[in-house]
Chain A
Amino acid sequence: MAADQHNLAIFRGLLKFKSNQQKIWGVLIFLSIVTIIEVFLGIVKPQFLMSPFLRMKLLNWIFIILTIVKAYYIAWDFMHIRDEKGGLKGSIVLPLIILIPYLVFIVLLEGDYIFDVMRDGFVSWNF
């Protein structure tokens, strides 16, 4: 990547920065806002977000989605994936979006099985 070829627009071109430094500060502000929202929700734990959705609390879904949003901006702007060619972008990101959900799937399935054995099987939680 050459020094002067930075892509200075974030939020799909909604926000354009004049220089790379400015973009970095802008992303920092955005990440800070997201973190503050997360911490606020973590402290308050609003009751209406505690209802289950797809076998997990709505609040936890929000945490995970916000975390992925943060990860996206760290990778795209700090690790400058945004400035790379499409092929390189794909070769970095595609293995991750295939393998991580696959691992999560396996671990959840196996964990759920063990939980079922503990709950319904012959092994007792407390003996």
Chain B
Amino acid sequence: MTMKNRFKSFVPYGVILVVLLFLPPVIPRFYTYILTSIFVTALLAMSLNVVVGHGGLFQFHHAAFYGVGAYTFALILTKTSLPIWVGFVAGPVAAAMAGLLVGWFCVRLTRLYFGMLQISLGSLIWAIAFRWYSLTGGDDGIHGVPVPDFVSSSTSAYYFILILLTICLVVMYLILRSPFGMTLQAIRDNPERCEAVGINVRRHQLLGIVIATFFAGVAGVLFVVLERSVFPDLLFWVLSLEIFIMCLLGGWFTFAGPILGAAITVSLRTFVGIYTEYWTLILGVMLILLIFFLPEGVMGFITEKFGARPERVYQER
């Protein structure tokens, strides 16, 4: 792919970024909030897709790591007097460590059993958080987390999260088109062959999991920055399945598909939720339509229709 082509494929992203940068002053606060929420969810969905879409792993309880990141950040800010930047670092690191631990047990198993063990470990984490009132606030969670001033207004939170999202996405992109990322995709397609060419598949997958859970932890921290609270739902398996669906909806073999999936899901949930309390019904119906008519996801559908493949990270043209 020539330099010019590569540059051209980034132009749409650049345009969107510029537009996003100029939005907050001109749109109502509510929309700023929604967009920020989309940013956080998009990061979470992208982090899952690193191991699911690109790695082929059955990461069934990704939300657990998201929650670990969020809770760590909230706990450090509310229960300790450590400086805030420690919280910012500790959240993702804690999530990555949890990912390492859970992943280490899970990569020894194949596919479905990988997923089931992860669900059980993640549910254990949820159960502990759900009941440990003194530490985590139990089913109430923790509210009123004192976020620092520079992110306390909705506009500043918007910019902060947008910038961090962009940085994370750039890093993810670099990782996915590096030899590591390419090998990860090769493992997804044919792990046996990879073993036969000298790749330590398990270690590679584990590294992928650590990266993915690190970003999930970042998303968790950003969630707290936006919402100033945490609750056990962040660790609940339903959220894990929802993120999975976002990846599917957007198209999980593409790079940016999950972002689209997250955007669609969050927007629909908000706007449909205004008219009816039966948002989950609509989501269910949408999902069924998706399964029947668009199995490659929206992004996959678009790229097939229009032939443009700027996002397919591993197919260099």
Do A and B interact? no
